[in-house]
Chain A
Amino acid sequence: MKWTCDEVTRQLEPYVDGELEVSARERVQTHLGGCERCRGAEGALRDLGAAVRAADAYAALTPDEAGAFWPAVRGRIREAEAIRERRGLAAIVRALAQALRPAILVPALAAFLGLILGVGLLRTEYLVDKAEAAEVQSLEGGPTSTVMLIQEGRGKPPVIWIFEDGAGAN
């Protein structure tokens, strides 16, 4: 007859400690083979046992051994952290390699060049000349003078030249 979960749970501790008889051990093993919940309980019990054994081992250390214990633990932690950092760096390199694929790189470069070109065009004299040039809208002389407008364009200031009566052109 198969054992229920409650029955197996009651037998788990002696099972983990290797204290069950053969028939009982086989029943537990059969149940664990088909019951995930009881397997989890068995794992937790084994972890607890390992922790207790580690604590017992630490308590049994000589003062010199105990003094070297925590530095050794810290060293292991640092090693694990270094491994994680190396994995992080590798992930960054992989992401960069991904970004440098032509499908991503080409549009990004095109957008960048377009931006640079656009900014450059806006700074050219041509657009400034079109949009912001000084402009003489009307011009007239007086009763004793004649005027002339000289507009050379391309960003150069317009020149209004006044010829006063009796004065020659300069």
Chain B
Amino acid sequence: MPATRWWPRLGLRGAGLFILLLGLLVAARGGEAATVAIRAQVVLASNQGTGTDDRLGAVAKQLGEAFKYSRYELVASYAGTPQVAQAWQASLPGGRTLEVTPTAIAEGTAVLQVRVLGPKGEPLMNSSVRLPAGRTVFIGGPPQSPGVLIIALSTS
């Protein structure tokens, strides 16, 4: 068979196979629900005593730069991977609740609706935060003896 007859056929078959695999890849990715990995570290910040909890890791330095408390203690740490429009909740001291709902996820950045609810479910704060992977937002202020609560919310 002359070379000019089978090369074009091979090229068409190759292109067809490539398009098929590409379609399968797109379909597979489309089938996956977009999720975002969330981490919430609940910190009790106070001026009673000194020191920073070793478990705070990289957040410890950021806390020290942003606030003037003398002591930072990790009281709870939560992690979750909610889908878009799926609410993810974490319990906070004092009967409060942190609620995070991803509203958009694209290219390593998530847009989150973040709410802090009081003991009766009343909203204390409602915010939309654009949070790239590896970045942190602090939510603080709720009083908790002997200081205040600070939540370090980050995505990965």
Task: From B24-32, B48-56, B126-134, give the one contacting chain A.
Answer: B126-134
Q: Taking chain B's interface residues, is the majority helix, strand, or loop, or is none over half, making it mixed?
A: strand
Q: Which residues of chain A in 98-152 are interfacial with respect to chain B, using CB atoms and an 8 Å cutoff?
A: 132-145, 147, 150, 152
In the complex the two chains form, what is the Cα distance from A132 to B109 in whole Å? 8
- A4 interfacial by beta-carbon distance below 8 Å: no
Task: From A6-14, A34-42, A46-54, A158-166, give the one contacting chain B.
Answer: A158-166
Q: Taking chain A's interface residues, is the majority helix, strand, or loop, or is none over half, making it mixed?
A: strand
Contact (Cβ within 8 A) B136 A140:
no
Chain B residues with Cβ below 8 Å from A152 are 66
In the complex the two chains form, what is the Cα distance from A141 to B126 in whole Å? 6
- B139 interfacial by beta-carbon distance below 8 Å: yes
Contact (Cβ within 8 A) A167 B143:
yes
Task: From B4-12, B15-23, B83-91, B115-123, give the one contacting chain A.
Answer: B115-123
Interface size grouping (class) on chain A: 20 to 34
A89 to chain B, nearest CB (A): 46
In the complex the two chains form, what is the Cα distance from A157 to B138 in whole Å? 7
The residue from B122, B129, B136, B142 contacting A135, defined by CB atoms under 8 A apart: B129
- A78 interfacial by beta-carbon distance below 8 Å: no
- A94 interfacial by beta-carbon distance below 8 Å: no
Contact (Cβ within 8 A) B129 A141:
no
In the complex the two chains form, what is the Cα distance from A133 to B132 in whole Å? 7
Contact (Cβ within 8 A) B128 A137:
yes
A102 to chain B, nearest CB (A): 44
In the complex the two chains form, what is the Cα distance from A26 to B147 in whole Å? 122
Contact (Cβ within 8 A) A136 B129:
yes
- A62 interfacial by beta-carbon distance below 8 Å: no
Chain A residues with Cβ below 8 Å from B141 are 160-164, 167, 170
Chain A residues with Cβ below 8 Å from B148 are 170
- A156 interfacial by beta-carbon distance below 8 Å: yes
Contact (Cβ within 8 A) B123 A142:
yes
In the complex the two chains form, what is the Cα distance from A28 to B115 in whole Å? 112
In the complex the two chains form, what is the Cα distance from A142 to B96 in whole Å? 13
Contact (Cβ within 8 A) A140 B143:
no
A166 to chain B, nearest CB (A): 9
Contact (Cβ within 8 A) B132 A144:
no
In the complex the two chains form, what is the Cα distance from A147 to B139 in whole Å? 10
Contact (Cβ within 8 A) B139 A160:
yes
The residue from B62, B126, B129 contacting A142, defined by CB atoms under 8 A apart: B126
User: In the complex, what residue of chain A is closest to B138 when comparing beta carbons?
Assistant: A159
The residue from A134, A143, A160, A170 contacting B135, defined by CB atoms under 8 A apart: A134
- B60 interfacial by beta-carbon distance below 8 Å: no
With A134-B136, A160-B137 in contact, do A142 and B122 touch (Cβ < 8 Å)?
yes
Among the interface residues B116, B125, B128, B130, which one has the most CB atoms of the partner chain A within 10 A?
A: B125
Q: Which 5 A-B pairs have the closest CB atoms?
A: A162-B141, A142-B123, A134-B135, A132-B132, A135-B130
Given contacts A134-B136, A156-B62, A164-B143, 13 further A-B contacts (CB under 8 A): A136-B129, A142-B124, A142-B125, A145-B118, A159-B139, A160-B114, A160-B125, A161-B141, A162-B116, A162-B141, A163-B141, A167-B142, A170-B140
